[in-house]
Structures are given as C-alpha cells and as structure tokens.
Amino acid sequence: MPVAELRGVTRRFAGVTALDRIDLQLRAGELLAVLGPNGAGKSTAIALWLGLLEADAGEVALLGGPPQESARRQGLGAMLQDVELPRELSPRDLVRLASSYYADPLPVEETLHRAGVAAFAGRPYGKLSGGQKRLAQFAVAICGQPRVLFLDEPTVGLDVQARQALWASIRGLLAAGCSVVLTTHYLEEAEALADRVAVIAKGRLVACGSVDEMRALVARRWISCESRLTVAQVGAWPGVFDARSDCNRLHLTAQDAEAVVRRLLAEDPTLAHLEVRQAGLDEAFDALTREAA
C-alpha cells in the first residue's frame, strides 16, 4: 500500500482548476520529487495530503486513511513555503514545543543537530537569516520522527553548503524508513535525492518516472528560426514535441535538435536567424501539457 495517495483528485479555486484528476502515489521509503512551474498545483497537492484542503472530487489518503484524522497527523511532518514562526522563540523553543504534540519525538538536541541548527538554536527566530529560518523550520518538521515528510521548496534561500547538509539529513531520514514528498524547482535537487519524479503542469500530471527519464525530458532543445515551413509541416517530424509560430518565426521543442536543424536547412534554403538553446523546465513542461491535451 502507498503511504500517501491522490486518486482522481480535482481541486478548484473560484472556478480555476488547480488540480485536474490527479493520480499520484508515494511509496514506502522513497523520495518522490514533484516538479513543475509556479502555479502548477504542487503546493495544492501537498495541502490536500496534509488535510489543509479538501478535494472537490476524488480521494486523498495518508497512511491508510483520511489526512484529517489525528492518528494520521501523528505520522507526518511538513515544511511549507511562506511559513512564519513566533519571532521571539528560539529554534530550541520551537522544536521543544512541536515535539510536545508527538507521542515519540526525537530528543530535542538530536533534532537540532540533525537539522543543522545547533549553532544558533538559542537565538530568537526573528533575528535569524532567511536560510537559518528554513533550517529551523526543517527541525520542526522532523522532530516527531515522521513516517511521511512533506518538504515544499525546502532549500530556497540556502547557500550551497547548507543545501548539501540538508540533503544529507534527508538521506538519513530515508535510510531510517521515512517517505518524503519534495517539491522543488531545482532539477539537480531531484537528481541528487529522488527515487521517482512527477511532473505537474497546469494542474495535470503529465509525466512520472525515474530520474533517468527526467534527464531525458529536460534534454530537449528549443529551436527558433525564420522559415517558410508551416507549424503543421514541422510539427509532424520525428523528435518534434511542440511547434508554434509567431510573426514568421517557428518555435520548436525537440529531442534530437541536430537532426531537426539539418532537416530545417534541407527543406528551407531561405531559413534565417536560427537559434538553438537548452529548453527550460517551463518549456519542457508546457510541451508535455500540449502532448497530454
């Protein structure tokens, strides 16, 4: 049984569909990285799993039951975006307070050490840097020895050294049997940590698979040129995932850019102003959404 699951889940906000019939599973002992552009629906999916929102359709399960049940909440930890903790309390105070809600929490000092906050654990939260605040939030998230941990953009604001240390802490949790859902904009973070990667774009699950499959996804290239060829012609070529036009310019997303460029040059001798670059994540996700539609 998965430890967390969305089954055919739809969630709308004021007529806008944030999630559209999503099916997504978190398996025991794995890290599932959820990637997508801003507004894709990643944070909404986590809020549903945490019981902070209810689905308009479909089923949400956490540790075998509804996430609103207190027994399920005893088994989870969460580090969300845009969280503000009491400014006058220290990280040690915050961890001690959060630990009191759990039946079998980690010792406070061990939690502080694992989260990398021991050096500033006695300082008021309000006087910490942005990166230090994120680490303090991580400490609060892990203090209850969660079976399922939700990390929503956890390394935003962290320097390289702090990010590496947080990754090491996450690996330790996975080794101890914790299951983790990680949302991130950073592909390298997914490559470093994830067992599986799910891609959400425009509220839909458009890809889910291994890290190797994700590497293939973002290996796509973006091609732009002035050409007499039409979108209908070029869009049917092998390796072309998306084709659009704008004022006599073609904009393509392709897997084998070299082959596509050779064919463009062969079929249109007048082709001009050719540009080829690595496709960004947003472009790759947009192309996948068009395919899924």
Pick from 162, 218, 168, 157: which is nearest to 193 by CA?
Answer: 168
> What local confidence, expressed as pLDDT, does residue 213 receive?
76
Query: Which amino acid appears at position 25 of this protein?
Result: Q
Which is more confidently placed, 207 or 11? 11
Q: What is the pLDDT of residues 187-215, one digit of tens each?
A: 788 888 999 999 888 888 988 988 777 76
Half-sphere exposure of 12 (CA within 13 A, CB side): 6
Q: What is the pLDDT of residues 72-109, one digit of tens each?
A: 999 999 999 888 899 999 999 999 999 999 999 999 99
| Coil, helix or strand at residue 13 | strand
> What local confidence, expressed as pLDDT, does residue 201 receive?
82
Domains of the chain with CATH codes: 4-216 (3.40.50.300), 220-292 (3.30.70.920)
* Mean confidence (pLDDT) of the chain: 91
